[in-house]
């Protein structure tokens, strides 16, 4: 059997339409703690769309246009909502033991997405171009020099930081988030501890 046929067969078995677009969900999914994930994803969509508009108009458009200022505000507050919901999602899933029953890789992908998001926010803050971002840029340069990372990333190079923010980091983040979603659909959402114990008792 060639590898393409094997990969296609594995994907078709594990990623069925019922898994990708389920018409029914367990009753416990109606809890608010399960909604933070979709809230995070919705906020990310707003971040991406507003970011694409800002990037297409240039890094100084929001400084000379009222519409640009509005789009920049949408981008800023979408980022705030994204981090709020993602933190709530991460904390909620931690206390629910979201890595149980073969879901450890799903948890790892989510944690990596959080870490990459922090880097994306950092480079975005440095790309604002105002006095505060420039001051933080200089301070960050000292930190990067002390950590020995200045050879990989020059924080004072605005083009490099801006390129990372609008191209490289979003691409990595989208891959991780997309992979995370596929794993969630493939394995299903993790049941609460109480529901899992009741189901185990029922099987006995």
Please name the residues in contact with 97: beta carbons below 8 A apart, sequence gap of 6 or more: 190, 193
Which pair of structure tokens corresponds to residue 48? 């991406």
In a domain, 161, yes or no: yes
In a domain, 146, yes or no: yes
What is the rounded end-to-end Cα distance, in angstroms, of the chain?
Answer: 40
In a domain, 13, yes or no: no
How many structural domains are present in the chain? 1
CATH number of the CATH domain containing 140: 1.20.810.10
pTM of this structure: 0.79
In a domain, 5, yes or no: no
**pLDDT for position 185:** 82
pLDDT single digits (tens) 138-172: 888 778 777 777 667 778 888 888 888 999 999 99
Average pLDDT over residues 109-136: 87
pLDDT band at 202 (very low <50, low <70, confident <90, very high): very low
Average pLDDT, the chain: 82
**pLDDT for position 20:** 61
In a domain, 124, yes or no: yes
**pLDDT for position 7:** 66
CB-facing half-sphere around the CA of 40: CA atoms within 13 A = 26
pLDDT exceeds 60 at position 27: yes
In a domain, 2, yes or no: no
In a domain, 154, yes or no: yes
| Pick from 1-5, 22-26, 120-124, 196-200: least confident | 196-200
Residue 190's SS3 state is coil
In a domain, 37, yes or no: yes
CA distance 121 to 129: 14
User: Percent of the chain having pLDDT more than 70?
Assistant: 83
pLDDT band at 183 (very low <50, low <70, confident <90, very high): confident
Domain that holds residue 182: 28-199
């Amino acid at each position: 059997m060639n590898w393409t046929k094997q990969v296609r067969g594995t994907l078709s078995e594990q990623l069925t339409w019922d898994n990708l677009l389920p018409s029914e969900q367990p009753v416990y999914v109606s809890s608010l703690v399960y909604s933070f994930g979709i809230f995070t994803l919705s906020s990310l969509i707003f971040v991406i769309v507003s970011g694409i508009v800002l990037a297409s108009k240039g890094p100084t458009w929001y400084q000379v246009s009222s519409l640009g200022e509005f789009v920049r505000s949408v981008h800023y507050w979408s980022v705030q909502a994204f981090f709020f919901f993602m933190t709530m999602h991460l904390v909620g899933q931690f206390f629910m033991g979201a890595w149980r029953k073969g879901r450890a890789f799903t948890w790892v992908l989510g944690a990596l997405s959080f870490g990459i998001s922090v880097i994306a926010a950092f480079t975005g803050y440095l790309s604002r171009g105002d006095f505060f971002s420039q001051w933080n840029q200089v301070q960050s340069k000292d930190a990067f020099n002390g950590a020995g990372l200045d050879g990989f990333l020059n924080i004072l190079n605005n083009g490099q930081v801006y390129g990372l923010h609008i191209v490289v980091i979003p691409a990595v983040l989208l891959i991780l988030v997309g992979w995370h979603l596929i794993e969630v659909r493939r394995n299903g959402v993790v049941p609460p501890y109480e529901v899992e114990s009741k189901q185990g008792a029922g099987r006995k």
